[in-house]
Amino acid sequence: MDIRTVSGVMPVREEDQLDWQHLRDYLVREGVLPEDAPDLCAVQFPTGASNLTYLIQSGEFVAVLRRPPHGPLPPRAHDMGRESAILARLHPHFPKAPRPYAYCGDPSVLGVPFFVMEYRPGVPLDASFPEGFAYTPDIGRAISERAIQALAELHAVDPEASGLVQFGKPEGFLRRQVDGWIERFHRSRTDEEVPDADVVMAWISGNVPDSRDVTVIHNDFKLNNMLFAEPSYRDIVGIVDWEMATVGDPLLDLGVMLSYWTEPSDPPALQSLFPSVTVLEGFYSRQEMAERYAEATGRSVHDLKFYYVFGVFKLAVILQQIYVRYKMGKTSDARFARFGDGIRALVSHARAEIG
């Protein structure tokens, strides 16, 4: 295998380069690589807008490396040690989660905390299928079903038996989430106005439902965090990006997934911000996804409006946290230049959904 031929990777950006020799030596010391392992080579996954993710190779050994983004970081965010520890406990109970190989918090190795994990050779889905792929509506239905099944399987993991209960505080979880994301919005505000933001935050804060269940949740469950097997794209071979995973209200995961699940009738600004294959004929609507989740889990989705609006608001906050770093000159990634318009589009959509 040659990682340079993997679909969707690119050469490592100059600003994101790491000391690959130090990394090789560290992995040898940790027993991940043998003493005679060849030098490492690396490519980068360009799609993530948060943590930096690399595909690394030494001979036949191939793995994924994750590290935090550049610039000032929100408190407790981008915790590589926590994500690695969650995967170590989750993988035996939920095989779609990759197995971690090593975590390093010693800044003398690469200058930042990082962890290395198993590589799953699947493809995430974003705006389109690969060129030449013969899409049919039954494929959209199959992918919709697989996504719901995977979410139901995750929410069936026992927090106590898996040891994951230590990574969450279920009591008051939903209220803390709401208060925390509103605080993040204020803390990352730029000098640009965001109309309707105060209205949306007030509605979310005043409409927090009572959580009925506590499960393991991904907290960023969406299509492009799922890896689909080629060439059919009907099976999920892995789910990645467990940075925000915790133990809490499972309907938060549903709300997050639906906030990315673009429909053909959505405002053009929203479709432009998050172009998605879900607009194609055959994919379930957001309402159908919610109904299938209720059928698969036995849970009520009566308060779906809250979870969806909150999911959309969280997206706006995530973009704003990235955008403020861009405006401060902490990253030069040109993708982030339009995030200001994206924040306003998301908040406007959330306001329209409130009614």
Whole-angstrom distance, CA of residue 203 vs CA of residue 266 = 21
Rg of the chain on CA atoms, in Å: 20
Residue 71 in tokens: 């610039």
Rounded to a whole number of angstroms, the distance between the first and last alpha carbons of the chain is 52
Backbone angles phi, psi at 344, to 5 degrees: -65, -40
Q: What is the mean pLDDT of residues 151-160?
A: 97
Q: What is the pLDDT of residue 8?
A: 83
- Find the angle CA(241)-CA(347)-CA(307) to the nearest 5 degrees: 55
pLDDT > 90? residue 190: no
Least confident interval from 63-67, 128-132, 194-198, 309-313: 128-132
pTM of the model: 0.89
- Whether the per-residue pLDDT at 77 is higher than 80: the answer is no
SS3 state of residue 248: strand
Q: CB atoms < 10 A from the CB of 146, how many?
A: 16
Residue 60: both structure tokens together = 């036949």
DSSP code, position 9 = -
pLDDT score for 235: 94
**Per the structure block, which two tokens stand in for 260?**
């990315």
Mean pLDDT of 120-147: 94
Q: Is the peptide bond between 69 and the residue preceding it cis, with omega within 30 degrees of 0?
A: no
Give me the residue label for tokens 């290395």: 116
Q: Is 281 exposed, middle or buried (0-12, 13-18, 19+ CB in 10 A)?
A: exposed
- Is residue 42 within 8 A of residue 54, CB to CB? The reply is yes
Arithmetic mean of pLDDT, 1-5: 91
Higher pLDDT, 241 or 75: 241
Q: How far is CA 33 from CA 5, 116, 157, 270, in A?
A: 22, 12, 32, 45
Task: For the chain, list the domains and their CATH numbers.
Answer: 3-118 (3.30.200.20), 137-354 (3.90.1200.10)
pLDDT digits (tens, 9 = 90+) for 42-61: 999 986 557 899 999 999 99
Three-state secondary structure string covering 150-177? HHHHHHCCCHHHHCHHHHCCCCCHHHHH
- Say what the pLDDT of residue 340 is: 85
Distance CA 195, CA 319 (A): 16
Q: Taking residues 294-307, what's their average pLDDT? A: 97
- At residue 49, the pLDDT reads 56
- Mean pLDDT computed over 146-155: 98
